[in-house]
Amino acid sequence: MSAPNSPVRCQVVFVCWGNICRSPMAEYVARASAEQAGLTSVAFASAGTSAEELGEPMDPRAAQTLTEAGYPADGHRAHQLDAAEARAADLLVAMEPLHVDRIRRIAGDLDTIALLSDFDPNAESGSGVPDPWYGDLDGFADTLAALEAAIPGVLDWVRQHQQTPTDSGADNSAG
């Protein structure tokens, strides 16, 4: 039996359309940021709402942007979010409002869904993170900046979630 104040295991899944740009970038930035902050007992993953890119590696521009900023960028393969993964997650972090809608189509109206931009105190509420896939390398740098601005808020959510006993009936929702 674990001590009363020990952190719970927490699963955060970042979600975008194809799981080759924004969501894997967020996963890698969050993982590195949590490690740097000494935040343990949390697992980060990413998934897409579409099957278009299944099995594909991270977009080379996304990988280059991460690598140049000092983050790892290897080993990723795109996969599609399914209902079981969505329901098992403590927090589903969507990149755009469209992804929130798609998550709900996949798994129902979960109270664990949030937009990444809602964790950035300087972002417009509900704004989301624009898709860099259609542009050049600068768009990926902008995406990385948006991720780095929001990930501290995600980590704060994880810390709060880990301090909330899971058997107390407390509201552990993302909102």
Identified catalytic residue from 31, 74, 120, 131:
131
Show Cβ contacts of residue 73 under 8 Å, excluding neighbours closer than 6 positions: 28, 58, 62, 63, 64, 66, 67
Q: Scanning the structure block, which residue is given the tokens 């740097």?
A: 36
- Average pLDDT on 32-37 reads 98
Nearest C-alpha neighbor of 154 from the set 94, 103, 111? 94
Residues 120-147: tens digit of each pLDDT = 999 999 999 999 999 999 999 999 999 9
Q: Is the pLDDT of residue 174 over 80?
A: no
Q: Clarify whether 131 is annotated catalytic.
A: yes
Q: Clarify whether 171 is annotated catalytic.
A: no
The answer to whether 13 touches 93, Cβ cutoff 8 Å, is yes
Report the chain's mean pLDDT, rounded to a whole number. Answer: 92
Would you state the pLDDT for residue 164? 77
Identified catalytic residue from 21, 22, 59, 118:
22
Q: Clarify whether 22 is annotated catalytic.
A: yes
Is the pTM higher than 0.85? The answer reads yes
Identified catalytic residue from 10, 16, 31, 61:
16
Gap between the Cα atoms of 104 and 139, Å rounded: 28
Sign of CA dihedral 115, 118, 120, 124: positive
Q: Is the pLDDT of residue 166 over 70?
A: no
Instruction: Please state which CATH class domain 10-161 belongs to.
Output: alpha beta
